[in-house]
Structure 1
Amino acid sequence: MKQYEYISVYKSDETDFSHNGIRILCPTECKITEVLNGEYSLTLTHPFDDLGNWKFLIEYNIIKVQGQLFRIYRKSTSMSSDGTKQRTVDAMHIFYDLNFYFIRSTQSGILNGPDALNWIMSHTYDKRGSFTTGKPIDRFKFYSDLKGDTSYENMPFMHSAYYEDMSPTKALLGADNCFINVWGGEIIRDNFNVTINKQRGMSNAFNISYGVDMTEIEEDVDLSDYCGDLYWVGKYTYDPLKNGEEVSAQYNGIVSFHRFNLPPLPVAPMKSYQISLTETQVRQELGNKFTIDDVKSLFNKKVQDYMLLECSPVVNYRVTFANLVDFDLYKGFINLQRCELGDIGTIYNEELGINTIQQIVKKTVDGITGEVVSIELGSLRKTITSKGRINGGYDSVRTELIKNEIAANNTWYGLGDAGYTMEQLNATWDELAENNIIHTEVE
């Protein structure tokens, strides 16, 4: 097990976290929860101790636990019936310090992932009460592999977005047109280092079964998107173009993929799907020698892949490991403790008789022992997006996690939804302004 430093608390304005802070803490409870592309938070409970360490658990001070920094935004103090006094604090990962900065208005050009991140941060106000922009926020470093290239497998991640009157956190995670929604990717937050890569975790990280007699794991099955039959239309464009005009052929068909006994409805559930392939793309899949029947078979394969991802039941699992310790039946699930957030694997559902692709979308860790307390597994979906026509998944492909937390609710703006109000802070925003003066500049 990886050994970390002491659980420590630092002053709100600390910049050097290589020491043990102003106090070393001995909490009775400490839990870290991270949601893929969402919440990253800490809840810590500390008793009233003779050294008075608990007194330093106040708003905006910073806690370091398991090597990560969290800024306190809420505290509560209580006394139990036996006279035990304790303080509980809630904190957000230091990444959410980006909520204290502001984007007034900026329109990016057509950029790839790394350039878009740089654009967002270089158009962020880095001084309170000022219209001055253009200076990167020095503390935070941003990285991304969403560069794309000219290969068939990795089409360029080139997009544009407009951001107005929001924090950079919302521009990255919370807004409808946030970076995650436009450029895609999965975020990795390591203190002041922020990485948004195409995929965060490992593929094929686990392969386990869920049996009909299992009762200690929460399971949700949703058939609202299940589709047994799909009508598809495929457009095959020949290269090179003749006389500058597009030459193409069109094919269509119905693909059936009945995983369940459908009820005797007048018409079976149907959906339609359009897919386009060029001759260049087909050659990269089939080689230089192929027939029209080969092309039709390739269309069928692409449609079946789409159907597997987009028309399957949504199955999610919530696993609390304390419930499973004494049950051999759950060995496969217990092994998930070794997996990381974002890891992808397969779970075979015995009752449904299907395999589902699952991704670890939420993980809660005991900050004192480092042990995994619980995880949530979400059915993995691929959202096929294209500016124009749907292109069979060869344009921008980004991961959508079913029943994930809404990222916007995990920004400071959304903390009110969690029971947090500004009145609970010791200072108002006006008091936090430099020298208690509100600065105004005219562009």
Structure 2
Amino acid sequence: MIVIYEKKEKNFDKNGLAVLNEAVECKIIEKLNNEYELVISYPLYSKKAQYIQPFNVIKADGQLFRIYNTNKDSKAGLVTAYARHIFYDLLNYVIQDRRAENKTCKEALDIILDELELTGVYTSESDIVETATQYLVKKNGVESVFLLVNEWQGELERDNFKIGIYKNKGADRGVHIRYGKNIIGISEKLNCDNVATWIYPVGMDGITLPEKYLLNPQWQDSDYPDFALVKIVEFREANSEGLLRLEAQKYLDAHAIPEVNYKVDFILLGQTEEYKNYKVLEHVEVGDIVTVKHSILGIDIKVKVISLEKDILSAKNTKVELG
């Protein structure tokens, strides 16, 4: 159900101004640590179209979106509204000068809400317990939250008035797909620029390992040129040989295979025989982990859902990006 509310409404559990049950199109676009918007097209000459105006709030798929732009097309007989997730109301609040020193991520979020005097409106949550420091000077609320996302290397979840920054926003729900040839509706990008078969790790004060180099255990010679792909990598926080080895091994594990990106368009894919093999992606969420069985490379690659376009009328994803 799609409901529209008056711009000053505080209670979004009631029916609001109207139920927008004549929508021609309604989709939500969400990108990991990026935009989160709704687009709706509605019959221009419907009585309910009068409520589709800037600053009013639309509730769809359980989330709230505030309209910031409308476009009336008399020829098509439609009014189209563009709305941002209610999180983006924070664009209108400014922090002059506040510091989060040696705080956990949640503590830093609470400092932002306190400074903006929004503690009773928004809530915060985080599973990142490491402490860090972030200075917030002449930043709006949205900019401030994204500074925390970058500093704590987290993933942002916007759930109405709850703001969460997590190590991993989604989950591995056991979704597997196969990729092995060109398929209409699916595009693939492979980037080998960061692949390392050997690394020369250097720690604090020039610490190195006795053997100097570490070999990537996942390296298969047939997949690479006849020379090693060697990278010098600095780990400035590694103040001992043991810590340097641990951090270097993590780096090797993360750079063992090419970076991949897949874009799946279900409208195009629906015209092919392969559609049935990808239907599992119609209900994944942003941040979820998907395992791609790549028959050409001969490997399984775990990739995140980094972007979704969801059709609210059919309750299915129409576009999914993995990367």
TM-score, with length taken from structure 1 = 0.65
Contact 1:187 1:200 in 2 (8 A): yes
Contact 1:205 1:343 in 2 (8 A): no
Runs (5+) with no aligned partner, structure 2 = none
How much has 1:339 moved relative to structure 2?
2.0
Look up the equivalent residue of 1:14 and give its one-letter code.
Answer: E
Distance across 2 between alignment mates of 1:234 and 1:190: 40
Q: Flag the structure with larger Rg.
A: 1
Question: Does 2:167 match 1:167?
Answer: no
Give the number of aligned pairs.
Answer: 316
Distance across 2 between alignment mates of 1:158 and 1:250: 32
Which of 13, 18, 32 in structure 1 is aligned with 2:13? 18
Distance across 2 between alignment mates of 1:143 and 1:274: 33
How much has 1:338 moved relative to structure 2?
2.9
Structure 1 pair 302/183, CA: closer, same or farther in 2 (3 Å)? Answer: closer
Contact 1:259 1:354 in 2 (8 A): no
Distance across 2 between alignment mates of 1:207 and 1:48: 42
Which of 128, 144, 149 in structure 2 is aligned with 1:180? 149
Look up the equivalent residue of 1:118 and give its one-letter code.
Answer: D
Question: Does 2:174 match 1:229?
Answer: no
Runs (5+) with no aligned partner, structure 1 = 1-5, 125-134, 148-156, 236-247, 283-297, 379-443
How much has 1:100 moved relative to structure 2?
1.1
How much has 1:181 moved relative to structure 2?
0.8
Which of 31, 41, 44 in structure 2 is aligned with 1:45? 41
How much has 1:184 moved relative to structure 2?
2.4
Structure 1 pair 85/260, CA: closer, same or farther in 2 (3 Å)? Answer: farther
Question: Does 2:27 match 1:31?
Answer: yes
Bigger strand fraction: 2
Question: Does 2:212 match 1:252?
Answer: yes
Look up the equivalent residue of 1:9 and give its one-letter code.
Answer: I
Percent identical among aligned pairs is 29
How much has 1:106 moved relative to structure 2?
1.3
Contact 1:324 1:334 in 2 (8 A): no
Per-residue CA deviation, residues 309-366 of structure 1 (Å, 9 max, x unaligned), is 1353221001112233354434342212232211113212222333322000111111
Distance across 2 between alignment mates of 1:98 and 1:328: 45
Structure 1 pair 57/313, CA: closer, same or farther in 2 (3 Å)? Answer: same
Distance across 1 between alignment mates of 2:295 and 2:249: 22
Structure 1 pair 104/172, CA: closer, same or farther in 2 (3 Å)? Answer: same
Distance across 2 between alignment mates of 1:221 and 1:79: 45
Look up the equivalent residue of 1:97 and give its one-letter code.
Answer: D
Q: 1:146: which partner in 2?
A: 128
Q: 2:109: which partner in 1?
A: 117
Q: 1:437: which partner in 2?
A: none
Look up the equivalent residue of 2:87 and give its one-letter code.
Answer: F
Distance across 1 between alignment mates of 2:173 and 2:254: 16
Q: 1:219: which partner in 2?
A: 188
RMSD: 2.7
Which of 75, 83, 94 in structure 2 is aligned with 1:91? 83
Contact 1:234 1:250 in 2 (8 A): no
Q: 1:364: which partner in 2?
A: 309
Per-residue CA deviation, residues 200-231 of structure 1 (Å, 9 max, x unaligned), is 11136323220124343111122222333322
Per-residue CA deviation, residues 16-58 of structure 1 (Å, 9 max, x unaligned), is 11211112212100000111111110000011234x2112111
How much has 1:258 moved relative to structure 2?
4.4
Distance across 2 between alignment mates of 1:110 and 1:312: 35
How much has 1:168 moved relative to structure 2?
1.2
Distance across 1 between alignment mates of 2:221 and 2:313: 45
How much has 1:372 moved relative to structure 2?
1.4
Distance across 2 between alignment mates of 1:75 and 1:200: 31
Which of 58, 61, 66 in structure 1 is aligned with 2:53? 58
Structure 1 pair 309/249, CA: closer, same or farther in 2 (3 Å)? Answer: closer
| Equivalence map 1:99-138=2 (5 Å) | 99-124=91-116, 135-138=117-120
